[in-house]
A and B are shown apart, each in its own frame.
Chain A
Amino acid sequence: MAGRPEGGRTVSTAETQAPESTEAATRAEYCVVSCAEIFRGAGEIMASPMSPVALLGARLARLTFEPDLLITDGEALILADTPPIGKTGAIEGWMPFRKVFDVVASGRRHVVMGANQIDRHGNQNLSAFGPLQHPTRQMFGVRGAPGNTINHATSYWVGRHSSRVFGESVDIVSGVGYDKVDPDNPAFDDLNIHRVVTNLGVFDFGGPDHTMRALSLHPGVTAEEVAENTGFEVAGLADAPETRQPTAEELSLIRDVLDPKGIRNREVK
């Protein structure tokens, strides 16, 4: 398990390179940079972001501190280039769905999924609400969430942090949480819910008994705001520092290269 990450104030590139323009960073841009930070230290693995802000984060990480990440076009091609969102570029390989499952089983992957519900131990639901055989609302079904969470690093991106998402329990466990781990069964050893990034801050499950813990709050977000919008107590909330500033290079890459149309703003409420 990864420990506490580099605190925002101690990241040297941010301190040494940040010019005035960084003060104008928007909430969505803090979210993108926080999603990029998900992949710090990931190395030569497949980054699989499932939504625009997470995708921008993965591509930003690849253009800055994680050049060896593999990324795909979301269909079946591995991209050699790091194109803007919605664009494709030169390719370097083939990754049809059946090979994705081989990658999942290999563990050489870090997925960033969305979530309709996440509880304090990291159980996640994107399947349906209500009883299993008679739901009140149908979503996708469990998709790859059970396999992702049991096999390799998994993070979550939530664009609208609310107590409806972060509640006491989830209706259907599609993504496996820490309280489901059987320590006597090595098949659970790779469970690693690395981060939860939301419009309010950055979290992990490093609280007592693997409970959700605040790592940083985005500038302008208060601990009260997070507490009001979370259905359980968040560890370390009072002491959480501010999310680090984007560097000038990062802001330029987000604004001018990866997302000139501002698609990131649609996802951050």
Chain B
Amino acid sequence: MPTDKTSTLDDVIGELRDGMTIGIGGWGSRRKPMALVRALARSDVKDLTVVTYGGPDLGLLCAAGKVRRAYYGFVSLDSAPFYDPWFSKARTNGEIEVREMDEGMVKCGLEAAAARLPFLPIRAGLGSDVLKFWEGELKTVESPYPDPDGRTQTLIAMPALKLDAAFVHLDLADAHGNAAYTGVDPYFDDLYCAAAERRYLETDQLVSTEVLVKSVPHQRLLLNRMNVDRVVHAPNGAHFTFAGDYGRDERFQQFYVASAKDPEAWKAFSRRFLEVDEQTYQREVAAWQDDQKEDGQ
């Protein structure tokens, strides 16, 4: 019988250290491992480097002052007002050092790390200010093979994005780390896991291996046991981003944005939704949603 990897959020946080590089799966405001992000935001861990296709995950970590450096292709909430307020504040206050890059460079850097290569060549980035964002850390590489016309291609040498830890959210998983997505897009969660030393999976539904493999076509089995160290059962864990069984909570995301505008409002938001454990968060969200429904009538 393979190892039972089921863990609590606290088990995961207990393995993290100051200064780590953490990759966060999902995309923008889509299937983000928000339960793990919330646990990290309320922990004592600090000075993190975050690698992400950024959304409110990066926003919440910026709000908690956890981020020293960020590597990202973009940061977006995917619906109006699109720009994450806490990431914006961290940037305009000069609080974080960024290694902004083309979206395709994130994939490329994770693939290099997954294959244990120091770099992979890519065109994206050439001629743009990505090179300036990287302040000398990003270099080019010349092909040893000239083109037919005798000229030689010089390309971006995208360095491996090696991660100390990866956080991902999958819709369905077993206790051993086999996991599947049920939505329309796997995003890059397998690459984050392949690029990381320690791999942390949260899932909406924890099921037996038999149920898992019968529930989805084989091609949806994105992660296998070699990719995962701990499995956290976190129903609705991706909230307020969307996951397989539920849509994005647009109203709550807008409430998050509105709360960020005013210190008092943020204090209230933080007290109710962030300085609490995951169970309390989910209960308070349900209560908040009920209030919204009543207000709408």
User: A residues within 8 Å of B by Cβ?
Assistant: 75-77, 94, 96-98, 101, 104-105, 127-128, 130, 132-147, 149-151, 172-177, 180-182, 184-188, 191
Given A76-B185, A96-B184, A174-B128, are A138 and B92 also a contact pair (CB < 8 Å)? yes
Q: How far is the CB of A141 from chain B (nearest CB, A)?
A: 4
The A contact surface, by secondary structure, is loop
User: B residues within 8 Å of A by Cβ?
Assistant: 27, 54, 72-76, 82-83, 87-88, 91-94, 97-98, 100-105, 107, 122-130, 132-133, 147, 149, 151-155, 184-188
Q: How far is the CB of A56 from chain B (nearest CB, A)?
A: 20
Report yes or no: A75 in contact with B130, Cβ–Cβ below 8 A: no
Task: Report Cα–Cα, A183/B94, bound state, in Å.
Answer: 36
Given A141-B72, A172-B129, are A151 and B124 also a contact pair (CB < 8 Å)? yes
Report yes or no: B126 in contact with A146, Cβ–Cβ below 8 A: yes
Pairs A–B under 8 Å by Cβ, sample size 29: A75-B185, A76-B184, A94-B184, A97-B103, A98-B186, A101-B107, A104-B104, A104-B124, A105-B122, A128-B91, A134-B94, A136-B92, A138-B88, A140-B82, A141-B54, A143-B74, A143-B103, A144-B104, A145-B102, A149-B128, A150-B127, A175-B128, A176-B127, A184-B151, A185-B152, A186-B153, A187-B126, A187-B154, A187-B155
Q: Which residues of A contact B132 (CB under 8 A)?
A: 132
Closest to B128 in A: A146
Task: Report Cα–Cα, A94/B105, bound state, in Å.
Answer: 22
Report yes or no: B129 in contact with A101, Cβ–Cβ below 8 A: no
Report yes or no: A145 in contact with B128, Cβ–Cβ below 8 A: yes
Task: Report Cα–Cα, A181/B151, bound state, in Å.
Answer: 14
Task: Report Cα–Cα, A198/B152, bound state, in Å.
Answer: 37
- Report which of A98, A127, A139, A185 forms a contact with B153, defined as CB distance below 8 A: A185
Closest to A94 in B: B184
Q: How far is the CB of B180 from chain A (nearest CB, A)?
A: 14
Task: Report Cα–Cα, A75/B127, bound state, in Å.
Answer: 29
Report yes or no: B92 in contact with A137, Cβ–Cβ below 8 A: yes
Task: Report Cα–Cα, A97/B74, bound state, in Å.
Answer: 13
Report yes or no: B104 in contact with A134, Cβ–Cβ below 8 A: no
Task: Report Cα–Cα, A16/B8, bound state, in Å.
Answer: 71
Closest to A176 in B: B127
Q: Which residues of B contact A137 (CB under 8 A)?
A: 88, 92
Q: Which residues of A contact B186 (CB under 8 A)?
A: 96, 98
Task: Report Cα–Cα, A172/B3, bound state, in Å.
Answer: 49
- Report which of A96, A150, A188 forms a contact with B187, defined as CB distance below 8 A: A96
Task: Report Cα–Cα, A132/B185, bound state, in Å.
Answer: 32
Task: Report Cα–Cα, A201/B87, bound state, in Å.
Answer: 36
Task: Report Cα–Cα, A265/B227, bound state, in Å.
Answer: 49
Report yes or no: A138 in contact with B128, Cβ–Cβ below 8 A: no
Report yes or no: B102 in contact with A105, Cβ–Cβ below 8 A: no
Q: Which residues of B contact A187 (CB under 8 A)?
A: 123, 126, 153-155
- Report which of B87, B107, B129 forms a contact with A173, defined as CB distance below 8 A: B129
Task: Report Cα–Cα, A84/B186, bound state, in Å.
Answer: 27
Task: Report Cα–Cα, A236/B104, bound state, in Å.
Answer: 36
Q: How far is the CB of B51 from chain A (nearest CB, A)?
A: 13
Q: Which residues of B contact A185 (CB under 8 A)?
A: 126, 151-154
Task: Report Cα–Cα, A186/B187, bound state, in Å.
Answer: 31
Q: How far is the CB of A99 from chain B (nearest CB, A)?
A: 9
Q: How far is the CB of B234 from chain A (nearest CB, A)?
A: 23
Q: How far is the CB of A50 from chain B (nearest CB, A)?
A: 12
Report yes or no: B126 in contact with A150, Cβ–Cβ below 8 A: yes
Report yes or no: A181 in contact with B83, Cβ–Cβ below 8 A: no
Given A98-B186, A187-B126, are A142 and B104 also a contact pair (CB < 8 Å)? no
Report yes or no: A188 in contact with B127, Cβ–Cβ below 8 A: yes
